[in-house]
Structure 1
């Protein structure tokens, strides 16, 4: 399993679709669990082709992430330099919680039934080798808005900037072509949010609600908007982007309204710094005011190996 293989990234840059399933699993202690999981993740490409062929225009894709706690046992490969369990971030008011997860499947398509069918076949293969930690079904909402009413993902890199922002570079050849991914499931207090005047909502987000125009932060009290707190720059002033594939989820009947945050990055520390700035504040004490209306229920980190590396796991 340690031999070099040609680098072919997974489809972390697949387009945002109408539907997605976010599936977090833990590996059980059942006999042959690791062997079963290894075979399943190594065969994900073949399974995806089997489902995608039913509608080639539906943009079906599945991305697989592997968690820190199971990486060594599952892969037998050198660890990605930054891979570790999600680190909880505790601010004075809000906390980014850390929750378990060994495997992550980001399943997406223009058709909900294709996501369903892929997940069904995948879980049949995995059987009792895994337990479900969280399953969230997301949907595209109008013109790529979250349920708070704002356009989501405006700051995403485009074109040649996508691989530069998301894929580990060649100099780290043990995991080149892979990507770190952080997922968090946020639920919103929609009634409290909707009670705010639009101007106050816009000041919290840092963009206008109707036409998505970027706003300057107010100087009073040094409070920074969600947009500004999530802008990370290096010492040289270079801005570090991540790729967000966030999606709304929820049920009006049960009063659940949420956003599933998912961020792919070449550098895990970039997302971790964003969370530090949001929950602790910049300066400390001035947390992201969006958190007064949005609560994270989960927080998990994974590494998305290259497609070539995944396929090699069952090559012995």
Structure 2
């Protein structure tokens, strides 16, 4: 299998920097070369600061892929799914490039970000930059542990990395990104029991409720989907909280070997079922962006830089 980018299946970090770029017209050839240099920057900092657990991901937006790599197309790469119902929606805000930088030191994230932006200067517009951080023992700012259902160890590869089903893109990953803003004032007015009912798991010790006690409008219930054989379908989440004293939220990132998994989960969250149930967590958080990307293998990026 081609070598996946290290940041896709990396362990959680203390700090993250998320950069969204749009590329100037006609710069495709130079960008293909510079993406390979960005991988070299990641590798350099990883070797120089091995204790910092440095990793990165470069992903290309669904709308920009055909311009950057016109000769081949990942089988399932498509625009971000556009779902809305009443006041619930998943806005589509396409970007050309997504660069994720993560480490256990904020200064390293900053240094890598500076080098990446300096390298791309004159060829792109930096549209969005968000700093993420680990909160307490891996919790979202709602107070609940985030990513509890993530696969562990080598199982991450099975969930997040494209295999032989798409031979030209083995080692790649389908990436979906959303920036959510929480209404924590509203959320914190709920009792812990009410919060737990909405999440479908206990707050303090992060135990998922059994099916008989789990509400059909809970976040856990709506995120649980199965395949045709009844086996659970999972995503690898690399999300992090972000914010300051005025704005707080979650920078949601999912990695998967199939784009269809995220689409099904997002639909479950937003579109009410026959009983009128949707993901009640959406009453307390709002998606402000949404982008679909593909993170090709290291081999793919290096080969197309020539």
Q: TM-score range by the shorter chain?
A: over 0.9
Within-5 A mapping of 1:57-76: 57-76=51-70
Q: Secondary structure at the match of 1:174?
A: helix
Aligned length: 305
Residue 46 (structure 2) aligns with: 52
Q: CA deviation at 1:208?
A: 0.5
Query: Could you say what secondary structure the match of 1:261 adopts?
Result: strand
Match of 1:3 in 2: none
Counterpart position of 2:83: 89
| In structure 2, C-alpha distance between the alignment counterparts of 1:259 and 1:144, rounded to whole Å | 12
Structure 2 distance, partners of 1:77, 1:116, is: 35
Unaligned runs of 5+ in 2: none
Task: Tell me if structure 1 keeps the 8 A contact 2:77–2:293.
Answer: yes
Equivalence for 1:18: 14
**Residues 1:146 and 2:140 aligned together:** yes
Aligned to 1:207: 201
Name the SS of the counterpart of 1:236 in structure 2: coil
* CA–CA separation in structure 2 for the residues paired with 1:157 and 1:307: 22
Structure 1 residues 58 and 202, CA, compared in 2 at 3 Å: closer, same or farther?
A: same
Structure 2 CA distance for aligned equivalents of residues 22 and 276 of structure 1: 25
2:217 corresponding residue in structure 1: 224
Aligned to 1:312: 303
Match of 2:24 in 1: 28
Query: Residue in 1 aligned with 2:130?
Result: 136
Partner residue, 1:298:
289
Return the offset for 1:229. 0.6
Q: What is the CA distance between 1:38 and its match in structure 2?
A: 1.2
Structure 1 length-normalised TM: 0.92
Q: Distance in 1 between matches of 2:154 and 2:113?
A: 31
Give the RMSD, CA atoms, in angstroms. 1.6
**Contact kept in structure 2, 1:279 and 1:287, CA below 8 Å:** yes
Give distance in 2, aligned partners of 1:60 and 1:188.
Answer: 28
**CA separation of 1:19 and 1:137: change in aligned 2, threshold 3 A:** same
Q: Counterparts in 2 of 1:234-253, with a 5 A limit?
A: 234-252=227-245
Contact 1:92 1:280 (C-alpha < 8 Å) held by counterparts: no
Q: What is the rounded CA distance, in whole Å, between the counterparts of 2:139 and 2:213 in structure 1?
A: 27
Instruction: Report SS of the residue matched to 2:181.
Output: strand
- 1:62-116 alpha-carbon deviations (Å, 9 max, x no partner): 1110112221221233101111121221123300110021111111000111111
Kindly provide the CA deviation profile for residues 211-270 of structure 1, in whole angstroms up to 9, marking residues without a partner as x. Answer: 0011135779x7331011111101210111110011000011xx2010111000011111
